Chains A and B, each alone.
Chain A
Amino acid sequence: MLRYVLRRLAWSIPTLLIVTFLVYLALRIGTDPVASYKRVNPRATRAKVAEYIDVNGLDPNFVQGYFKWLRNFITGEWPRSIKGRREVWPALKDAMANTLRLGTAATVVGIFFGLIAGVFAALRPGGKRDVFINTSAFVGISVPPFISAIMFQLLFAVYWQKWFGESLFPTSGVYPAGHTGFDLFLMLKFMVLPTLVVAIQIIATYSRYMRSSLLDVLNSDYMRTARSKGISERRVLVKHGMRNALIPVVTIAALDVGSIVGGLIITENIFSYPGMGLYFLKSFGEGDFPLLMPWMVVIVASVLFFNLIADISYAWLDPRIRLE
């Protein structure tokens, strides 16, 4: 197992290199970083432009340029953003922290309630509860986040203020303007609406996964064997049913978490939530090559990492899978 993990981690290095090279190519061909720099800094001297090209590895030769960029990236000499010469790492770090917070909250809430709903639906397929949960899940999946986000903002902020004098939940940012320092309660209050928007999608999706996975398991022969043993129905369901039903769901969940790090672009944009999604939209809009490349590295690394987590958890839950 340990050897498998180490080997997978080792393999992720060439994967990262190949993918970042492709990203580098795409950004250079698609956005022309030098032109963006000149557009943002119209009065930059020739020397400044040459320096920008040098530190970012924007040589005419793509391969040479990529390795120059890579060397600077690994040694920690990250070029600064094209606008205002801000350092990249603090901005990226904050964006990651904000997205991880939102993503984790939404995933935990979403998967928890999604699984419960799925189990309840599967226990009496075709029953009233099942129909209710299925219909809600259908609505939840069908309503896109940009609709539900705006509805929530209208309800809990705009109309709430009209009816009760003040809004229930804030609609943008992480803290009110001008706030400094850490305040857990205030932060949670700002997170409620974006978390809700994301969690609804997750609840809807996972209730369906769980329902179909558990239904599969409930109809299997070994459940009948378990019942024929005369053990309690609860034990039959938990020990024999849930354990098997969770195998595919956990695997999908690990993969999903990996992609959430990529930012909840739509939700973050609507709530002006300064996470990875908003970071990407802003830096891509300005063609800010120094900001974009490290973002890409983080995204690729997180997808690779959670793929590995998915494989490990799969092997851990299912003895039939051997990692070699």
Chain B
Amino acid sequence: MGKIVYDVQYQTSMAFLISYYFYLTGLSAGSFMISTLSYGFGFEKFKPAGKIGVVVAVILLLMAPQFLLMQVAWPIKSVWNHFVYLNPVSAMTYGAFLLMLYPVNSIIYGIFMFKGNKKWTRIFGTIGIPLALAVHGYTGWILALGVARDYWNTGLMPIVFLFSAMVSGISMMILLIMIRDYFFTKSRDVNYDLIYSLAKILGWLLVVDLFLVFCDYSVLLYSKLEGQEVAHFMLFGKMFLGFVVLENLIGKVIPLVIVMVPKFRENNYLLILAAVMNMIGILAMRIVTVYGGQVLPLM
């Protein structure tokens, strides 16, 4: 309609540090879920993934908030003020509590697991599942409550975040279990039964994830102007490489084909490739969502 002669430059409020934080929390929540499949729900097949899952979940969740604290200008003040000046209607308030509760619960759960106490492992595993859902769901919720951005402001956002978390977590578990079994056991005997079961779960979660992306974009393309613009920006604009190619083609569609076709799935190299590609794709998803969602100016 016109040419801008003068306008100020807008600052980006959240970018890569927050994306990495979301990514690591997602990996942590995903590996915790795998860990509870045997110890919380009793699927004996997944027992070899239990201990490695909880160890990785705790390590990643101790790493993740470092990125958050780097993003915040006043890290120590931020921890203190979250408790002293608590605002119950802010999504970020709950994040502060969850980021403390979830690792503590995971550590207790891990200790009971390593000690072989089945009853308490199951109890803390069961408590951990809603916590893991919440600790990652809230990250999507934070974005969804950033009401100014049409790309974020959708009820699907926490669910999209949860599914991408589980997907990337399973990919990471597949890689880690292969590495552990091949390099750190005397027999070098990879537990293929477990790996293929995880790959099948990965496939179905990828189907749900792609379906959610389809729902989100089909609604955006029909919604009001700003929603349409941001959808075009993602699909055909500057985010094409990040969103279409890296996130969905490399990160989801190709891994989905590999894990769903038995011939490809049973080829180790292809399965490793699928898992790596999926992990890269989900990292791209975090960056595209956090950074790409707010790169378009509002006014």
Bind each other: no
Could you tell me which B residues sit within 8 Å of A by CB distance? none
